[in-house]
Structure 1
Amino acid sequence: MKQGTSLWNVSRVECGEVTELQDEVAVEFPLTLVVNGKEFATMVCSPLDLEVLVIGFLASEGIIRRKEDISSLSIDEDTGFAYIELTKEVPVVSTMEKRWIGSCCGKSRAFYFQSDAKTARTIMNHFQLEPEVCLQLMKQFHAEAQVFKKTGGVHQASIATREGLEVTFADIGRHNALDKLLGHMILHQLRNKEHTVLFSGRISSEVLLKISKMGIGFLLSKSAPTDLALKLAEDLNITAIGFVRDDRMNVYTHPERLKTDVAPSFAEMNKGGIDVD
């Protein structure tokens, strides 16, 4: 099995002094997916947890919905190929049709990719978390960031319940880290009603859509959101919380899921985001 990091000889310059040492860097690995005998896509990723990455990527692209859609999956790490046989034909999407505008769950939001319109889900559950639980989960999330601490070059994503983190994945690609979560959920048939996603990077529209495809309505990130991501979060009924650091967080959408005495007043103020002490 390939490693997620490698050693590189570097010259460190500090205060005018030069020191020769070895630095640990993230490995960048190209993986080509061959689906039903045809090359489907090549992704650049960390060579870790490749099975769940492949499954999650195919699900995110709308190629599969459940693990039973895959009849066989094998990965040749030496050549960088993953061979997948499906129980059905692969949908053909013309590159001329890739830019596609459609209604977001009957509302005004527009999708950029047709696969997103097909696979994004409006979250219907009303799962709640206390602010102190959110902060504790983020502390656990940071403690799990071993590859990042070694390299500073990967993103990290976790699925958690109020009791703690259930699974954590790291990857050089932020989308890959989230696809690994989705692949894990599909492979293990994980129920999603009372789960939270924790993420190390910016909450972009693409990140938000991947969360919706997991069917999870609670997202915690240590970073900032974009406005399109928040518009999608509003439409898809996802609670997006950013800048979860130390003892603070910004609740941007659907604050009713945050279990606190002041939560009811958030709804009136939510358009600009709420900062929680």
Structure 2
Amino acid sequence: MNDRKIITVEKILGSSRDLKEDLVVRETAITLYVNEIEMVTMICTPTHLRELCLGFLFAESMIDSANDVAGFEYNENDGLAWVETAKPVNIQNNFLKRHIASCCGRGRASFYFINDLDIRPITSEAHMQTAEIFALRSETERRSELFAATGGAHGAALGYKGDVIAFFEDVGRHNALDKIAGWCLLHGINTGDKQLVFSGRVSSEIVLKTARLGVPVIISRSAPTDLALELAGQLNVTVVGFARGNRMNIYTAGQRITV
């Protein structure tokens, strides 16, 4: 499988020391070109790369739908991916440039990058029960085969009414979420009544990706950051953290969750 590799390791148990085969998660560098312009090199697990590249471009506001993509190619030997867009995109002027907004006479970062400025608050009034959250967490853990085999991968799932409808793993937590976004674009998924289930920390970037995708609820077994919660409040994203077993913390927009 492309997501893992068999290696030989020295395993120690008590006073014994033996050579054994073990699995490690695969990690590679993929350089993405957009309209023949080099854009970024991503460190990722080399699976579902079309979803990853399209999801990344969507997260960076370079495309809005799969219809904006005229072509995709990937050269595995060289680690190069090419995306051709149906209309020109402004890469050099906007990508990775920070926006500083004025606040009380001092510069303050309202959103990290210029490309984040078009994100609008979530208007979805979708609700879900805590039992659905527990079911989604359980099913996500069951599907986390790469993590179970290697201990080195993050997972992201798209949920609906307690069921997982898409799931991806990657060595990078942002990549796993971008693969979900790319899958949604390719399949024309309505995201306004869905949930994201995430294995990693809910940082500000994760909240921004969630809001751009239009998903009202993100659920994680880990913790959020303070900036993530500030942005979630502004963007009306429901953040659920420490969802483990039969417990969870609801940090923002808790009106969407019923017991």
For the aligned pair, the TM-score class normalised by the smaller chain equals over 0.9
Farther off after superposition, 121-130 or 142-151: 121-130
Q: Distance in 1 between matches of 2:63 and 2:5?
A: 34
Q: 1:47 to 1:136 in 2, by over 3 A?
A: same
**Could you say if the C-alpha distance between residues 97 and 133 of structure 1 is closer, same or farther in structure 2, counting changes exceeding 3 Å?**
closer
In 1, Cα distance between the equivalents of 2:96 and 2:154? 30
Deviation at 1:101, TM superposition (A): 2.2
Corresponding residue for 1:30? 29
- Quote how far apart the aligned CAs of 1:49 are: 0.4
Q: How far apart, CA to CA, are the structure 1 residues paired with 2:136 and 2:35? A: 40
State how far apart, in whole Å, the 1-side matches of 2:95 and 2:51 are: 29
2:192 is the counterpart of 1:213: no
Match of residue 115 from structure 2: 115
| Aligned-pair CA distance for 1:121 | 2.9
CA distance in 2, matches of 1:23, 1:121: 46
Distance in 2 between residues matched to 1:100 and 1:56, nearest whole Å: 22
Is 1:54 matched up with 2:53?
yes
Per the alignment, in what secondary structure is the counterpart of residue 202 of structure 1?
Answer: coil
Give secondary structure in 1 for the equivalent of 2:128. coil
| Partners of 1:111 and 1:51 in 2: CA distance | 27
C-alpha distance in structure 2 between counterparts of 1:97 and 1:80, whole Å: 22
Q: What does the per-residue CA deviation read over 1:199-223, in whole Å, with 9 as the maximum and x for residues that have no partner?
A: 0001111111111111001111000
Q: 1:96 Cα deviation (Å)?
A: 10
Deviations 1:207-253 (A, max 9, x none): 11111111001111000111110111111001100000111000111
Q: Which amino acid aligns with 1:72?
A: G
Please tell me whether the aligned partners of residues 102 and 117 of structure 1 are also in contact (alpha carbons under 8 angstroms): no
Structure 1 residues 97-135: Cα deviation after superposition (integer angstroms, max 9, x where no partner): 8121249xxxx97111111123x2310011111111111
Residues 230-269 of structure 1 correspond to what in structure 2 (within 5 A)? 230-260=229-259
SS in 2 for 1:25: strand
Flag the 1:109–1:98 CA change in 2: closer, same or farther, 3 A: closer
Instruction: Please give the alpha-carbon distance, in whole angstroms, between the structure 1 residues aligned to 2:90 and 2:222.
Output: 35
User: Equivalents in 1 of 2:197, 2:91: separation in Å?
Assistant: 33
CA RMSD of aligned residues (A): 1.7
2:94, 2:115 → 1: CA distance? 12
The farther-off stretch of 86-95 and 196-205 is 86-95
Corresponding residue for 1:267?
Answer: none
TM-score normalised according to structure 2 size: 0.94
Runs of 4+ in structure 1 off by over 4 angstroms are 94-97
> Does the C-alpha gap of structure 1 residues 96 and 255 become closer, same or farther in structure 2, counting only changes over 3 Å?
closer
Task: Specify the code of the residue in structure 1 equivalent to 2:256.
Answer: R
Q: How many angstroms apart in 2 are the aligned matches of 1:67 and 1:46?
A: 22
Superposed, 1:167-246 pairs within 5 Å as 167-246=166-245
Matching of residues 138-157 of structure 1 within 5 Å: 138-157=137-156
In structure 2, give the amino acid aligned to 1:112. Answer: Y
Superposition deviation, residue 171 in structure 1 = 0.5
Are the equivalent residues in 2 in contact too, given 1:10–1:21 (CA < 8 A)? yes
Deviates more, 1:15-24 or 1:219-228: 15-24
Q: How many residues align?
A: 254
Give TM-score, length-normalised by structure 1: 0.88
Q: Give the alignment of 1:78-89 within 5 angstroms.
A: 78-89=77-88
Asked if 2 retains the 8 angstrom alpha-carbon contact of 1:205 and 1:229, the reply is yes
Structure 1 SS opposite 2:201: coil
Equivalent residue number for residue 269 of structure 1: none
CA separation of 1:96/1:214 partners in 2, compared to 1, >3 Å: closer, same or farther? closer
Give the conservation status (yes or no) of the 8 Å contact 2:44–2:170: yes
**What is the CA distance between 1:16 and its match in structure 2?**
2.2
Cα contact 1:128–1:259 (8 A) shared by 2: yes
Q: Unpaired segments of 5 or more residues in structure 2?
A: 103-107
Task: Give the secondary-structure state (helix, strand or coil) at the position aligned to 2:252.
Answer: coil
